[in-house]
Every structure is written in structure tokens, then in C-alpha cells.
Amino acid sequence: MSVNVRLFAATWVAGSFLTTVSFGQVVEVRPAPQPGQQVPADPAILEDDEQSTTTDAFAGLRRVSELLGGEARGPGDEGRIAAISDLIMDGQGQPHYVLLSRGGLAGVGGDKIAVPFQVGTFIHNEDQNWHYQLNMTGDQLDQAPVLEEGSLAPLRDPNWVRVNRQFFKAEVIGDEAGTGDDSFLFRADALVGAEVRGQDEEDSIANVDDVILGPDFRATYVILGYGGVAGLGKNQVPVPFSMLQLDAEADDDRYELVVTVQTTKERLQSETAPTLDGNEERMLDPTFLDRVHEYFGVNPS
């Protein structure tokens, strides 16, 4: 994914074609596990083996749409302590924060807390749902730094980021000044549903129906949909996440994201394009994924 601009302000707004973005620190995301292997915990951020970032390598598809709206849980019998409001990712699709909502109603109107991604664990439940496991109670989470009015602007403030990471006992990894290209952060929820421009085209040629995450929860594919009526009869084509380009446009006092895919409308909507045909489980088929990469001329990462 390429990011052509560096922004210095952001607000908590989502649009269809233009989507608000925000910026913060660079954090380390470890490589994807091999089959049957869990993501190893970073000893630099663990304390008495209390925190980890393990994932279930056999949990099937990891869709952003399925993670959001789930719950964060505390240890033991603590149960639900917050709602998962969003994932905050960088331009390479790596997750930096899990945005939690504490209080409010159904995750709306509560305090927004940016938990460094590696502090907790995403767990795939027996009921096929996801939850984010933390080793802290709700009362402890109430003491965490809060994003005032839900704004992501503090994520580009080195002092705020340092305090937030100290609270969660998570190391600051990367450029503390937040001035590198990797400091370009956006909300995963804002990408889902966004309109997408084609290469060298001004008009939308598709919408992002969902974002597919790898075993390390890095974005690997986006499902682009077009056609149909009210969601019926829609064609869905998966494209590698690396084919997306994020640019920014100023709109009054905020900066907003423009999503472009590096292909043409004719290529994306061709009858020969690899489509899901209503079966997202095709994303688990290596042969189908090879076809996707071959069709768009993108080497698997």
C-alpha cells in the first residue's frame, strides 16, 4: 500500500467516498505464525507472562466486520469490560491499536481507549465469535488514558502515546516523533464500506465490502463489491491489500482519506476476474488465492 501524503490533524468522522484518518506511533507487529504455531509473545512487553498476542491459526477467515462490535473481556470471571469499537491500522495494514469503548450504550457514547494491539489476545470462541482478552479488570481499564471526544489526534502526540503505553506496559517501538510514513493510521471500520476509485479514474468503481486479516491480524485482502441491487446479485472480487493506495484530501478543518485500487474498472469487472460467487470460504483455498495474485500480477507477500 502506498501513502502519498503526511497529515497533521484528524477528526473522528467517517464518510463514504472520503474517510477521516488519523496518525500515531509506529509499533511492532510480529510475523504471521506457521500452521499450528501461535504468535510468540514479546518478552519486552510481558510481565510475569500476563500478557500475550496469540491467535488461533485455524480460526478460518478473520473479517474486520466480524471483529468490530465484539467485546473485550477481563481475566477470570470478569467477563465483558468494553466493546471493540475499531482497529487502528497503518498504511501497510498492520494493526497498532484496538479501540475500545467503555461505558455508553452498545459501545456508543462511551470513553474511547486505544489499547496497544500487542497487549491483549484475540480469541476465537466456540460460538464462532471473536473477543479481545485483556489481563485487567474494568475498574483498571477506567484508569487508562482516554481519547477525548473520540478523536484520534492524540495518537500522533509522542507524549500522549508514551503515557498510554506506560499505562498498558507496552513498549514504544519505532519512530517516537511519529514523522515517518508508517505514522499514517486509519480506522479499519472507515475502510469497510468506502467507495474505491480505479486507477487513473475519478469515479467510484466498487465499494470495500470487507477487509480480510491474516493470522497476525494484518490486512491481507480487501473484498471489493460492485453491481447488484440493495446488496443482492453483487459481484465480489478479492484484491491484495497491497493494491490499495491511500491519499488524503483536505476538507475544511479535517483531512479525509481517498481509496484507490491499482487496477482499471474493465479489469476489475471483467468476466474473467476471480470472484467469490457468494462463497467467502474460497479465501481459504490456496489455489484460488494463487489465481487472485496471478490475475492482478501481484506476488504473494
Q: What is the DSSP string of the chain?
A: -EE----S---S---SSEEEEEE------PPPPPTT-PPPP-GGG-STT-------TTS--EEHHHHTT-EEE-SGGG-EEEEEEEEEEETTS-EEEEEEEESSBTTBSSEEEEEEGGGSEEEE-TTS-EEEE-SS-HHHHTTS--BGGG--GGGG-HHHHHHHHHHTT----S-TT--SGGGEEEEHHHHTT-EEEPTT-SSEEEEEEEEEE-TTS-EEEEEEEE-SBTTBT-EEEEEEGGGEEEEEEEETTEEEEEEEESS-HHHHT-TTS---TT-GGGGG-HHHHHHHHHHHT----
pLDDT at 218 over 70: yes
Which pLDDT value is given to residue 233?
78
The pLDDT > 70 percentage for the chain reads 70
Which pLDDT value is given to residue 126?
76
Q: Give per-residue pLDDT as tens, 137-146.
A: 999 999 999 9
pTM for this one?
0.78
Ranges 19-28, 47-56, 85-94, 96-105: which has the least confidence: 19-28
pLDDT at 101 over 90: yes
Which pLDDT value is given to residue 252?
61
Which pLDDT band holds residue 1 (cuts at 50, 70, 90)?
A: low
Of 221 and 176, the one with more pLDDT: 221
What average pLDDT does the segment 214-242 reach? Answer: 91
Which pLDDT band holds residue 256 (cuts at 50, 70, 90)?
A: confident
Which pLDDT value is given to residue 246?
78
Of 179 and 287, the one with more pLDDT: 287
Range picked from 219-233, 242-256, 269-283 for highest mean pLDDT: 269-283
Q: Which domains does the chain have, with CATH numbers?
A: 8-185 (2.30.30.240), 198-296 (2.30.30)
Q: Give per-residue pLDDT as tens, 185-211.
A: 888 998 999 999 999 888 999 999 999
What average pLDDT does the segment 264-282 reach? Answer: 95
Q: Give per-residue pLDDT as tens, 50-97.
A: 433 444 444 578 999 999 989 999 999 899 999 999 999 998 999 999
Which pLDDT value is given to residue 45?
33
